[in-house]
Structure 1
Amino acid sequence: MKIDFVILDEIESTNSEALRRAKFVDKPTFILAKKQTNGRGRSARLWVDPVGNFSGTILIKLDDDLQKLALRSFVAAISVYDAIDEEIGSGHQLSLKWPNDILLNEKKICGILLETKKIDNAIALAIGIGINLMSVPRLEKLSQFTTEPGSIFNESGIEIDPVEFCKSIANHYLFRESQFQEMGFSKIREIWMKRAANVGKEIVARTPSIEYRGVFDSIDEKGQLVLTNNMEQTKIAAAEIFFSNG
């Protein structure tokens, strides 16, 4: 499998552009915007994107069910983790935060958003990836964050070129996607858990209607968060996660 690349100077949203193009492309495609003016995060939040950061979307067409498609957020998170780790090397605390964030020295540097669209007999999956390569969102924009944001440059002093980094992420994604298809989610889950932040520690998971507190035990075969409290396990499909320092 190979990936085509589309590099754009400026666009409102790489996910929207990917889904717009989905009907006309046959191969997996990585769309990168040097500037994104109206990106989206989870729960329809605005994704703040200063110039110099990374805004891209991997577009693939699949015939999987929606539950299996949703597991690609873990595939993508591991792939981006691989690419970042390759750039910054050891000496930094790089970790994954459920469901789809990447932390560097306990600060959020990356978010991932999956969106889908039915195209004939297949589903077009847009995997949106936003990474703070150079800078951090302005303070007045931080109320939406559950974890303090950071940037790769601020935390490591390393400058990363978005176009070259796009190619690196693509290569890692192809490898992890192959693992997922050949070995199933169990392999991806195993890798994700080894890199997860705050396993075995008490965390808070908030949904619009309820707040859960418990020890972060694991994720299950569906990618759900598993919390343990008083010897009882709770499985959570979607929530905002707060750590003790968040």
Structure 2
Amino acid sequence: MMPQDNFKEHTIRQALSTNVFGHSLVFLDSTISTMTEARELVSNSAPEGTLVIAEEQTSGKGRFDRNWISPHGVNLYISLILRPSTEVLVKLGIITSLALARVIDNFLPANNNVSIKWPNDLRINKKKVAGILIENHIGDHQNYSIIGVGINVNSQPIKIPSISAIATSVFQETNNVTNRVDLLNSFMKELENLYLNGLNVDSINREWKMYLDNIGDNITVRWGDHTYVGVAEDVDTNGSLILRLQNGDIRTLPAGEVTLTV
């Protein structure tokens, strides 16, 4: 029996030490997906920083509508509503994955290798521990973005045959139960700091690139109706992949529009 970590709405509200993120909070025991709930809130003019949290998703989705296994009471499933400038909007993938990588790093022993598989998967020793899904809308009057994040905290993917070879959790890597309230607060603080304070862009990009684990790999990328095979040579300042094709040509592929296999 997994020890309880007191993951309740009132304990989350008390613990959050952010200035904006999570001050408007929706806590659900079960939902189809936090992204679905967040879309509804956006349509009702939810303020920036509105945070949707669920203990369980019955139809959680990752990028390209892939299923995200979301058992009850052990992981983090959240969606955050932002209203960024266009300049910040294009960098949300970078700052979100960097913030999460920093936080997961801090919750693990030093010998674990936390990395980012471009564009939005977090991995520990090359096994997926978290996924990020970002939906953006650029409007005439105001932009909005919804950042959806699923983190395998105290689940045991090793017991789920369909993902046991490719996924892990903080619990599996540490053999200790992690307090999800503490992890959530740390992530929200780190992300808010990067989002609001406009830190040095060059420094952020350099650190983010250091976490990337598939630069230099031979990969296959599906982009729209096209499939490209080549070497992941680099990323640009907005996080798009620079792919060198087998014939030597270069393609720059935005993160939001591709699916990648190694």
For the superposition of Structure 1 and Structure 2, which TM-score range results when normalised by the shorter chain? Answer: 0.7 to 0.9
8 Å contact 1:63–1:121 — kept in the other structure?
no
8 Å contact 1:53–1:135 — kept in the other structure?
no
What is the Cα deviation at residue 70 of structure 1? Answer: 4.1
| 1:130 partner SS | strand
Q: What is residue 202 of structure 1 aligned with on the other side? A: 218
Q: When the two structures are aligned, how many residues end up with a matched partner?
A: 235
- Deviation by residue 1:180-211 (Cα, 9 ceiling, x = unmatched): x3544x44322211111032333332345333
What is the Cα deviation at residue 79 of structure 1? Answer: 0.9
What is the Cα deviation at residue 167 of structure 1? Answer: 1.1
Higher strand share goes to which structure? 1
TM alignment of 1:18-167, pairs within 5 A:
18-22=38-42, 23-51=44-72, 52-64=74-86, 69-116=89-136, 121-133=141-153, 134-136=155-157, 138-140=160-162, 142=163, 148-167=166-185
CA distance in 1, matches of 2:207, 2:89: 18
C-alpha spacing 1:118/1:227, structure 2 compared with 1 (3 Å): closer
What is the Cα deviation at residue 122 of structure 1? Answer: 1.8
CA distance in 1, matches of 2:160, 2:58: 15
Q: What is residue 229 of structure 2 aligned with on the other side? A: 213
The letter of the residue matching 2:221 is: A
CA distance in 2, matches of 1:222, 1:120: 22
| 1:39 partner SS | coil
The letter of the residue matching 2:26 is: V
Percentage of matched positions with identical amino acids? 25
What is the Cα deviation at residue 152 of structure 1? Answer: 1.8
Q: What is residue 234 of structure 1 aligned with on the other side? A: 251
Gap runs ≥5 in structure 1? none
1:170 aligns to 2:188 (yes or no): yes
8 Å contact 1:32–1:163 — kept in the other structure?
no
- Deviation by residue 1:4-36 (Cα, 9 ceiling, x = unmatched): 243322222111212222334324122211111
TM-score, normalized by length of structure 1?
Answer: 0.83
TM-score, normalized by length of structure 2?
Answer: 0.79
The letter of the residue matching 1:169 is: F
Superposed CA RMSD: 2.6
- Deviation by residue 1:222-241 (Cα, 9 ceiling, x = unmatched): 32111234654322223322
